[in-house]
């Protein structure tokens, strides 16, 4: 009961919360900062290495300075990118609004210029919060006619949209100045001070929990935890020095809670014990993107720099990771305090910089106590286990039931939507007709974006053995009312929106996942997927496709249509060879319905031909039967495997099995006679059923 409640409340609520539009805008916006962060962190690492290796100090300072400079623009970039995402949501011109949001941060830092500490503490928070407030405010102001400087279309959509941001932009900037100035009138804000006494450290458990919890809580809102409670951290640093002095004087050590203990045991890898999170991702997450991020941030995390995870996952304003992000440092602090007070591990007596690498920091700050290193390892493991279920849950929510919403190609879709709107605003492209067509396309895509996509698998049966030999993955889409739509219908819109490569890559990953799912239950069946020529002939997409399919060890193959063969022969040929290199087979789909395939066929090393249903239908008629047998003979001559599609009746099957016109070699039959496409879970049943039938017939 309690568990169900927990699940209901946290998992579901948090997932719902996490998918709200504005939080999504923040997450995606933060992601755009990642390259900058990595560059900045790279300089930090270099400067740390230079320092450790005793390079000349100007060089160390130079590298550290580069890190600091880039870091200082991060809040500006954060504001701009969140502003950009929100502008899309509110249908405002993106770049002008993004630049306004950036200007808001500059304004805020200027207003707070006499309060550098408050400014340093809150600048990222302001960068996140101000677009969240200001973009909707701009959108609202924009609705009032009086804020629009231009109403006529005389100047073109683009210019008009930009100019009309001036008044709302000025008003929101002014409001920001007024709000901050008023806040500065409040004495407490001016003398913004965290708790400050060394005495507080006398009650280590309470203070330890306070410091670690408040640090996580602040980071959750993008407030720099260490800056916010700087006085307390100063006291914690001082405690280490006092411990060192006490040790030297032969007196008892007073401060169990200190910067050394927190740095080594609570903030392993940075705020929230990020190294634990990172290990949890590497050990327990199946999400490619999360794992990639974890690998990228590993070297930084070893130096206790957690920014990449904070921004990339992100942790900031991500309700799904908040609980462990809070719990891990708190629990680790309490355990470390108990162990140190029990005397099993020495207290910290030497000051060590925050960026001293994990394990080494524990060793150095205790002046060589290996038990401290052991404790750090244990707490690292414990923290990893605490993070594990949350990391798994994120992935599970993403793939639940193998179905995915087009919403998950979000960025792509947004990109398109954005492009559509940009073109719509382009003064050159004012032809009314084009606009109407684009608006229509856009609304179709919007409609499709609410569909839920999934795959079904149509079995294929050998004409010789009667056993199921493979299946074709076919896409299905369910709309909000539960109605299932045919691929003919939605694929044309996706193709027009140039989204086919994204669709194909999604299908590929779903098929691989299905194959792996079967494999776990001891079942295996080759799958083919349909790949459009746009995917095949664009090297970047082709590479991704090969990368995805390589995870299925050649058990997921590819169907391409003839039109892929008439494009760039060189590129297509190379792609086919790459696919075959990972063990995948290449099928020519709808063979005989396109153009010029015959003349090109010998140039491509394909494995199978799929004969289109129209030839099977035509077989009723003597001429049609001749065409079909001719085709079978042709494939045989080229030594190609043959799949015959759309076999619906026993007569059609009998014709194919009779071996009339061909040598009686194996044909693979795919059609409703045997089965329509089945859900992934039903395929195993079909395969078993076929095997039983064949067995019975053999026995009879
Ligand atoms: P296709 O690749 O030729 O797929 C075979 C189509 O014939 C499927 O239609 C299948 O349900 C249908 N079919 C199979 N057996 C019979 C039969 O005995 N009689 C009849 N009348 N039809 C049969 P579906 O699923 O509607 O797919 C239509 C087309 O949409 C596919 O034709 C393919 O071109 C495209 N498509 C489907 N899924 C995907 C996908 O995941 N990616 C891409 N790029 N295209 C897809
Ligand atoms: Ca096909
Ligand atoms: Ca086909």
Q: For 219-265, write each residue's pLDDT tens digit.
A: 888 887 777 777 788 889 999 999 999 999 999 998 999 999 999 99
| Among 487, 490, 669, residue to substitute to test ligand 1 (most atoms within 8 Å of Cβ) | 487
Q: Closest ligand 1 atom, CA of 612?
A: 3
For every residue of 457-478, DSSP letters joined together read: EEEEEETTT--EEEEEEEEEEE
Taking CA 347 as the corner, what is the angle to CA 344 and CA 350, rounded to the nearest 5 degrees? 140
For a pLDDT cut of 70, what percent of the chain falls above it? 84
Please answer whether residues 475 and 685 qualify as being in contact, where contact means their C-beta atoms are separated by less than 8 angstroms. Answer: no
| Rg (the chain; Cα; Å) | 32
Bridge partners of 472, per DSSP, are 458, 528
Confidence of residue 344 (pLDDT cuts 50, 70, 90): very high
Residues 342, 268: Cα–Cα separation, whole Å: 21
Strand pairing report for 468-478 and 527-530: parallel
Residues 456, 679: Cα–Cα separation, whole Å: 5
**503 Cα distance to chain centroid:** 16
pLDDT at 408 over 50: no
Q: How many CA atoms lie within 13 A of 654 on its CB side?
A: 4
What does the DSSP 8-state code read for residue 10? Answer: I
Check pocket membership of 504 for ligand 1, CB cut-off 6 A. Answer: yes
Confidence of residue 102 (pLDDT cuts 50, 70, 90): very high
Check pocket membership of 507 for ligand 1, CB cut-off 6 A. Answer: yes
Residues 177, 189: Cα–Cα separation, whole Å: 15
Distance between Cα 458 and ligand 1 center (Å): 9
Please answer whether residues 534 and 568 qualify as being in contact, where contact means their C-beta atoms are separated by less than 8 angstroms. Answer: no
pLDDT tens-place string over residues 287-300: 777 888 899 889 88
Q: Is 481 exposed, middle or buried (0-12, 13-18, 19+ CB in 10 A)?
A: exposed
Nearest residue to 22 (alpha-carbon basis) of 99, 131, 104:
131
Check pocket membership of 225 for ligand 1, CB cut-off 6 A. Answer: no
Residues 553, 551: Cα–Cα separation, whole Å: 6
CA distances from 461 to 162, 378, 632 (A): 61, 55, 17
Check pocket membership of 456 for ligand 1, CB cut-off 6 A. Answer: no
Q: How many CA atoms lie within 13 A of 229 on its CB side?
A: 21
Nearest residue to 542 (alpha-carbon basis) of 571, 512, 582, 513:
571
Residue that wins the pLDDT comparison between 12 and 471: 471
Tokens of 478: 């369910």
Residues 605, 628: Cα–Cα separation, whole Å: 23
CA distances from 30 to 36, 85, 603, 626 (A): 11, 10, 48, 63
Distance between Cα 614 and ligand 3 center (Å): 10
The whole-number pLDDT of residue 564 equals: 81
Report the chain's mean pLDDT, rounded to a whole number: 84
CATH numbers and ranges of domains, the chain: 201-403 (no CATH), 452-699 (3.20.20.450)
Check pocket membership of 146 for ligand 1, CB cut-off 6 A. Answer: no
Bridge partners of 461, per DSSP, are 468, 669
Bridge partners of 529, per DSSP, are 558
For a pLDDT cut of 90, what percent of the chain falls above it? 46
Rounded to the nearest 5°, which phi and psi values hold at 583? 95, 0
CA distances from 379 to 262, 329, 330, 376 (A): 12, 10, 11, 5
Lowest mean pLDDT, pick from 324-328, 488-492, 556-560: 488-492
Measuring from atom 33 of ligand 1, which residue has the nearest CA? 530
Distance between Cα 331 and ligand 1 center (Å): 55
Distance between Cα 574 and ligand 3 center (Å): 23
CA distances from 108 to 70, 120, 130, 176 (A): 19, 11, 10, 7
Check pocket membership of 594 for ligand 1, CB cut-off 6 A. Answer: no
Please answer whether residues 549 and 512 qualify as being in contact, where contact means their C-beta atoms are separated by less than 8 angstroms. Answer: yes
Check pocket membership of 675 for ligand 1, CB cut-off 6 A. Answer: no
Tokens of 216: 């996580």
Nearest residue to 642 (alpha-carbon basis) of 619, 672, 615:
615
Sign for the pseudo-dihedral over CA of 90, 92, 98, 103: negative
For every residue of 276-343, DSSP letters joined together read: HHHHHHHHH---HHHHHHHHHHHHHHHTT--HHHHHHTT-TT-HHHHHHHHHHHHHHHHHHHHHHHTT
pLDDT tens-place string over residues 454-505: 999 999 999 999 999 999 999 998 887 888 998 988 888 888 777 788 889 9
Tokens of 154: 């005389």
Q: How many of the other CB atoms lie within 10 Å of CB of 77? A: 20
Q: Which residues have C-beta within 8 Å of that of residue 180, sequence separation ≥ 6?
A: 108, 111, 112
CA distances from 376 to 211, 367, 637, 683 (A): 19, 15, 69, 49
Helix axes 410-425, 57-89, angle to 10 degrees: 70
pLDDT tens-place string over residues 129-170: 899 899 999 999 988 888 888 776 555 556 777 888 999 999
Distance between Cα 161 and ligand 1 center (Å): 44
The whole-number pLDDT of residue 405 equals: 33
Tokens of 223: 């407030």
Q: How many CA atoms lie within 13 A of 170 on its CB side?
A: 8
Check pocket membership of 231 for ligand 1, CB cut-off 6 A. Answer: no
Q: Which helix (H) or strand (E) holds 279?
A: helix 274-284
């Amino acid at each position: 009961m309690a568990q169900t409640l927990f699940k209901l409340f946290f998992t579901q609520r948090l997932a719902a919360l996490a998918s709200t539009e504005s939080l999504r805008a923040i997450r995606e916006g933060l992601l755009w900062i990642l390259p900058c962060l990595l560059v900045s962190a790279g300089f930090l690492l270099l400067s740390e290495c230079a320092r450790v290796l005793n390079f000349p100090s100007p060089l160390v300072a130079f590298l550290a300075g580069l890190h600091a400079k880039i870091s200082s623009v991060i809040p500006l970039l954060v504001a701009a990118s969140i502003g950009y995402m929100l502008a899309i949501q509110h249908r405002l011109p993106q770049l002008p609004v993004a630049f306004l949001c950036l200007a808001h941060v500059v304004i805020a830092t200027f207003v707070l210029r006499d309060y550098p500490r408050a400014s340093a503490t809150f600048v990222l928070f302001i960068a996140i919060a101000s677009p969240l407030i200001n973009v909707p405010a701009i959108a609202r102001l924009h609705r009032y006619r009086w804020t629009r400087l231009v109403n006529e279309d005389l100047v073109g959509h683009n210019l008009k949209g930009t100019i009309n941001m001036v008044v709302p932009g000025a008003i929101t900037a002014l409001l920001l100045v007024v709000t901050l100035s008023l806040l500065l009138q409040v004495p407490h804000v001016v003398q913004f001070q965290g708790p400050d006494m060394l005495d507080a450290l006398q009650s280590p458990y309470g203070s330890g929990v306070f410091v670690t919890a408040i640090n996580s809580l602040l980071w959750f809102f993008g407030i720099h935890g260490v800056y916010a409670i700087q006085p307390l951290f100063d006291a914690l640093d001082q405690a280490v020095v006092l411990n060192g002095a006490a040790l030297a004087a032969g007196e008892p050590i007073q401060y169990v809670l200190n910067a050394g203990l927190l740095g080594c045991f609570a903030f392993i890898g940075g705020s929230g014990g990020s190294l634990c999170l990172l290990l949890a991702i590497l050990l327990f997450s199946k999400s490619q993107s999360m794992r990639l991020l974890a690998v990228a941030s590993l070297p930084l995390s070893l130096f206790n720099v957690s920014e990449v995870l904070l921004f990339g996952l992100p942790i900031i304003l991500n309700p799904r990771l908040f609980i462990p992000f809070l719990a891990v440092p708190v629990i680790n602090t309490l355990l470390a305090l108990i162990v140190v007070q029990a005397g099993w591990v020495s207290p910290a007596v030497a000051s060590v910089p925050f960026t001293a690498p994990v394990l080494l920091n524990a060793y150095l700050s205790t002046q060589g106590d290996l038990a401290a290193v052991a404790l750090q390892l244990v707490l690292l493991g414990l923290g990893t286990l605490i993070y594990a279920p949350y990391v798994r849950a994120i992935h599970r929510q993403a793939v639940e039931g193998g179905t995915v919403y087009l919403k998950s190609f979000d960025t792509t879709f947004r990109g398109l939507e954005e492009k559509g709107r940009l073109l719509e605003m382009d003064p050159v492209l004012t032809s009314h007709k084009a606009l109407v067509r684009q608006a229509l396309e856009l609304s179709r895509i919007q409609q499709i974006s609410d569909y839920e996509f999934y795959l079904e698998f149509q079995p294929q049966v050998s004409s010789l053995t009667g056993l199921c030999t493979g299946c074709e993955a076919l896409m299905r889409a369910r709309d909000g009312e539960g109605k299932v739509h045919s691929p003919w219908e939605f694929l044309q819109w996706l193709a027009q929106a140039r989204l086919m490569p994204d669709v194909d890559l999604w299908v590929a990953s779903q098929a691989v996942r299905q194959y792996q799912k079967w494999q776990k239950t001891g079942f295996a069946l080759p799958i083919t997927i349909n790949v459009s020529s746009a995917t095949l002939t664009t090297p970047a997409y082709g590479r991704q496709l090969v990368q995805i399919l390589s995870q299925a060890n050649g058990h997921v193959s590819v169907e391409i249509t003839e039109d892929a063969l008439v494009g760039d022969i060189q590129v297509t040929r190379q792609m086919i060879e790459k696919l075959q290199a990972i063990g995948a087979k290449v099928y020519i789909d709808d063979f005989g319905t396109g153009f010029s395939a015959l003349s090109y066929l010998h140039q491509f090393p394909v494995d199978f031909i799929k004969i289109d249903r129209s030839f099977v239908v035509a077989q009723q008629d003597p001429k049609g039967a001749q065409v079909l047998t001719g085709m079978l003979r042709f494939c045989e001559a080229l030594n190609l495997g043959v799949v015959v599609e759309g076999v619906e009746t026993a007569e059609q099957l009998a014709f194919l099995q009779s071996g009339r016109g061909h040598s009686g070699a194996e044909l693979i039959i795919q059609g409703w006679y045997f089965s329509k496409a089945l859900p992934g879970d039903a395929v195993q049943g079909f395969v078993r059923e076929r095997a039983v039938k064949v067995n019975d017939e053999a026995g009879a």
